[in-house]
Amino acid sequence: MVWEFENNESQGLKALCNIRNTIYTSSYDRIQPENINLNQFLKGFVIGDKSLPEAGLILYKSGLLMDNKQVLLFGYFDSLNFNSGTSILDYVINYCKLNYPDTFLIGPVNSSTWDNYRLPVDVFKSLFPGDMAGQDFYPEMLNQLGFDVYCKYSTHIQTELNRVYSNEINGFRIVYLSKSEIISRLNEIYDLSMDAFKTAPLFQTIQFNLFEAKYKQSLIQLDTSFLPFVLDSNNKIVAYLLAYPSYEQHTLVVKTLARKSGRQFAGLGKLLANEIVNKAIDLGYKRIFHAFMNQSNVSNILSRNIAGMPCKSYAVYQYKL
C-alpha cells in the first residue's frame, strides 16, 4: 500500500527517517524530520504500513527546464528492499504521468543541488562525512524501471602528496580568514558561489538567507585552517576552497573549489589545490579525497594530475514521462 502525505504531515516525514535510519547505522548517514528540506515540496510517498514503512521519497517542483519541458525532482529516496523500491518508484512515475505529463523526473535530489544529491553506483558505503551511502541494488532497480543516467560524478583519492611551489599570480593572494571574518563576508561568498556554479547540472539559485543559514551551520564544524580564500587587488574574494578531515586519521576531504568565471581568474583553482596539498603535508595528512567531481567537466581530466584516481562513482538519473 502506498500512502501520500503533505509537507505538514509529521508522520510521513518520520516514516522517511525510519526507513533511512533502519538501513544505515552511522550518525553521518541518519536523518531526523527537522533535517528534511521542504523547499519546493510537492508530495511525499511511502509504501508499507505506517508503523513499518518499507520505501519512500519526496517529489519536488523545480524551476528547471530540459528540452523545454518542466523538470520534477525526487529526493530522500530509500528502500529496505528491491521490490518495495521498485513499487514506490513505479507508483510515483504513474502519479507524475497522470498529474504532470510531458515532464522529466530527475533524482535523487533533495530539493536542490545545494543539498545532498546523487546515488553511489559502485561503492555503497560512505567514505567520508558528507559522502552518500546507498543500497547496492539501487542502480539496477532504476535501470530496470527505464531511468537513464543524467550525469555522472566521481570522488578521487590522492595517496601521494608532494609539496608544490606555485608561481604567484599577479594581483591575487591566498589568505585564511577567521570564522567571524568569513561570516561578515558571506555576501561575497554567496555572489561568488552563484557565479562559479551557474553552469553546473541542475543548478538553481537559492535565496541568500538559505545560503547563509546552511553556511553558518557548516562553519560550526569546520576548521578554518582548511578554508583558503583568494583575494584580488581590491581585497575582494574571487576564489575559495573548502576542506575538512575524513573519518580516517591523516585523511582530508576537498569538498568545494570555486572561482569567479572569466579568463583573468584562470589558474586560481590550481593555486588553491596546491595550497591545500602543502597545508595537508604540513599537518601530517597522508591522503586527500577530492569529492564529487562532475565527470563531464574538463577539470576532471586535469584532476588526474593533482587529485589521484577515481575511487567511487555516482549518478543522477532521469525518466522522461
The pTM of this model reads: 0.92
On the CB side of 32, how many CA atoms lie within 13 Å of its CA? 2
Domain 173-285 has CATH 3.40.630.30: yes
Domain spans in the chain, listed from the N-terminal domain onward: 2-152, 173-285
The span from the CA of 195 to the CA of 203, in Å, is: 11
Give the DSSP per-residue string, 171-192: T-EEEE--HHHHHHTHHHHHHH
Q: Which residues pair with 293 in a beta bridge?
A: 154
Taking a C-beta distance cutoff of 8 angstroms, is the pair 241, 151 a contact?
Answer: no
Tens of pLDDT along the chain (321 residues) come to 899 999 999 999 999 999 999 999 888 899 999 999 999 999 999 999 888 999 999 999 999 999 999 999 999 999 999 999 999 999 999 999 999 999 999 999 999 999 999 999 999 999 999 999 999 999 999 999 999 999 999 999 999 999 988 777 888 999 999 999 999 999 999 999 999 999 999 999 999 999 999 999 999 999 999 999 999 999 999 999 999 999 999 999 999 999 999 988 989 999 999 999 999 999 999 999 999 888 765 454 444 455 688 999 999 999 999
In CATH, the number for domain 2-152 is 3.40.630.30
**58 φ, ψ (degrees, to nearest 5):** -120, 135
